[in-house]
Amino acid sequence: MLRITRCLVLLALVSFICGGLRAQQGQDLASLAGVVTDASGAVIPGVSVTLKNPLTGVVYTATTNKEGFYRIPAVVPAQTYEVTFTATGFSDARFTDVPLLVASARTQNAQLKAGEAVAIEVSRSSTASHPWCSFPNSRALAP
């Protein structure tokens, strides 16, 4: 009976210590969240959100849900991040020098403008070559 009690106390102690460490780790991180809308205020689902630390090159990504909401949790804090919002049919929105501080939850909303239609003209040219053309360095093979 004493042995079981000791095991339970030890298990509770280990759980308490590990749980405290886990909670403390979460407090060292930051998060970024927000809503993406168009010029009329309508939410835009499916927007690609890229968060990049220009000093380290570390990139975090998210996509807005049907309410236009995105969230990037567990971000390593830094004084400067770049946030880019990209969606088909809209011009990109980019924010630079976005600080994410220790244990902070920053809100970064974005409003995207309708993009201009871009016409792409594709042309193709070719030159014909004929098998009966002679080549200056060609040699006839003996039969």
**Assigned domain for 108 exists:** yes
pLDDT above 90: percentage of residues in the chain: 61
Token duo for residue 78:
């830094």
C-beta atoms surrounding 122 within 10 Å: 4
Domain CATH code at residue 76 = 2.60.40.10
**Assigned domain for 39 exists:** yes
Q: How many CA atoms lie within 13 A of 105 on its CB side?
A: 7
Choose the weakest-confidence range: 57-66, 92-101, 108-117.
108-117
Radius of gyration of the chain (CA): 30
pTM of the model: 0.65
**Residue 82 pLDDT > 80:** yes
**Residue 68 pLDDT > 60:** yes
**Residue 104 pLDDT > 70:** yes
**Assigned domain for 5 exists:** no
Q: What is the DSSP-derived secondary structure letter of residue 49?
A: E
**Assigned domain for 68 exists:** yes
Among candidate residues 83, 82, 74, 81, the one with its CA nearest the CA of residue 104:
74
Report how far residue 98's alpha carbon sits from residue 59's, in angstroms, rounded to the nearest whole number.
14
User: How much is the average pLDDT of 101-121?
Assistant: 83
**Assigned domain for 97 exists:** yes
Number of domains present in the structure of the chain: 1
What pLDDT is recorded for position 135? 54
Among candidate residues 106, 9, 87, 100, the one with its CA nearest the CA of residue 42:
87
